[in-house]
Structure 1
Amino acid sequence: MSILDFVFYTFAVVVVIQVIIYLVVFGKFAYLKPKKKRTQNLPVSVIVCAKNEAENLKTFLPSIISQNYPEFEIVLINDASSDDTLDVMEDFKSQYSNIKIVDVKNNEAFWGNKKYALTLGIKASSHEYLLFTDADCKVLSKYWIQEMTSHFSDRKSIILGYGAYSKIKNSFLNKLIRFETLLTAVNYFSFAKLGNPYMGVGRNLAYTKKEFFKANGFIKHMKVRSGDDDLFVNQVATKSNTAICFSADSFTESTPKTKWSAWIRQKRRHISTAKHYKLNHKLSLALLYFCQVLFWILAIALSITTYMWPFVVGLIVFRFIVQYAVYGSSAKKLNESDLLVLLPLLEIFLISVQLVIFIKNLTSKPNHWK
Structure 2
Amino acid sequence: MELTLLVSLENCLLGILIFCFLIQLYFSLFVHLKLALVKVDEIPDRAAKPLSVVICARNETENLKQYLPVVLQQNYANYEVVVVNDRSWDGTKDLLEEFSKQYKHLKIVTVNEGSKFIAGKKFAVTMGIKATSNEWLVFTDADCMPASPNWLLGMQQPDDDQTEIVLGYSPYLKKKGLLNALIRFETFFTAVNYLSFALKGMPYMGVGRNMAYKKSLFFNNKGFAAHMHIPSGDDDLFVNAHAHHNNTAIRINKDAQVWSVPNTSFGAYLRQKKRHFGAGKLYKAKHKFILSAQIMVQFLFYVVFALLLFFKTTFYPALVILALSIIVRCFIYPRLLKRLSYADLSWWFPVLDLLLFIFLVFNGFVSIFVKKIQWK
Bin for the TM-score computed over the shorter chain: over 0.9
Does residue 137 in structure 1 map to residue 150 in structure 2? no
SS in 2 for 1:101: strand
Q: Which amino acid in structure 2 is aligned with residue 144 of structure 1?
A: W
What does residue 108 of structure 2 align with?
A: 101
Q: Which amino acid in structure 1 is aligned with residue 213 of structure 2?
A: Y
What does residue 122 of structure 1 align with?
A: 129
Equivalences for residues 250-289 of structure 1 within 5 A: 250-289=256-295
Q: Which amino acid in structure 1 is aligned with residue 232 of structure 2?
A: S
What does residue 314 of structure 1 align with?
A: 320
Does residue 246 in structure 1 map to residue 252 in structure 2? yes
Aligned residues: 369
Q: Which amino acid in structure 1 is aligned with residue 87 of structure 2?
A: A
Distance 1:109 1:6 in 2: 60
Unaligned runs of 5+ in 1: none
Equivalences for residues 282-361 of structure 1 within 5 A: 282-361=288-367
Match of 1:51 among 51, 54, 58: 58
What does residue 154 of structure 1 align with?
A: 161
Q: CA deviation at 1:263?
A: 0.8
Does residue 42 in structure 1 map to residue 20 in structure 2? no
Q: CA deviation at 1:152?
A: 5.4
Q: CA deviation at 1:150?
A: 5.3
Q: 1:210 to 1:279 in 2, by over 3 A?
A: same
Does residue 220 in structure 1 map to residue 226 in structure 2? yes
Larger mean Cα displacement after TM superposition, 28-37 or 184-193: 28-37
Distance 1:207 1:80 in 2: 26
Unaligned runs of 5+ in 2: 1-6
Distance 2:369 2:170 in 1: 31
What does residue 231 of structure 1 align with?
A: 237
What does residue 33 of structure 1 align with?
A: 39
Q: Map Cα deviations across residues 309-363 of structure 1 (whole Å, 9 max, x no partner).
A: 3322221111111111221221121111221222222122222222222122222
SS in 2 for 1:299: helix
What does residue 27 of structure 2 align with?
A: 21
Q: Map Cα deviations across residues 222-244 of structure 1 (whole Å, 9 max, x no partner).
A: 11111100011111101100000
Q: Map Cα deviations across residues 20-56 of structure 1 (whole Å, 9 max, x no partner).
A: 2110011121211123464443101011100110111
What does residue 89 of structure 2 align with?
A: 82
What does residue 71 of structure 1 align with?
A: 78
Larger mean Cα displacement after TM superposition, 359-368 or 325-334: 359-368
Q: 1:311 to 1:53 in 2, by over 3 A?
A: same
Identical counterparts, % of pairs: 41
Distance 1:118 1:75 in 2: 10
Distance 1:365 1:335 in 2: 34
Q: Which amino acid in structure 1 is aligned with residue 237 of structure 2?
A: L
TM-score by length of 2: 0.95
Distance 1:218 1:110 in 2: 16
TM-score by length of 1: 0.96
Distance 2:219 2:122 in 1: 14
Distance 1:236 1:368 in 2: 24
Distance 2:110 2:157 in 1: 30
Q: Which amino acid in structure 1 is aligned with residue 255 of structure 2?
A: D
Q: Given that residues 63 and 140 in structure 1 are in contact (C-alpha distance below 8 angstroms), is that contact kept between their aligned partners in structure 2?
A: no
Distance 2:365 2:128 in 1: 36
Q: Given that residues 43 and 153 in structure 2 are in contact (C-alpha distance below 8 angstroms), is that contact kept between their aligned partners in structure 1?
A: no
Considering only aligned residues, what root-mean-square deviation do their CA atoms show, in Å? 1.4
Distance 2:186 2:120 in 1: 26
Q: Given that residues 231 and 275 in structure 2 are in contact (C-alpha distance below 8 angstroms), is that contact kept between their aligned partners in structure 1?
A: no
Distance 1:151 1:180 in 2: 29
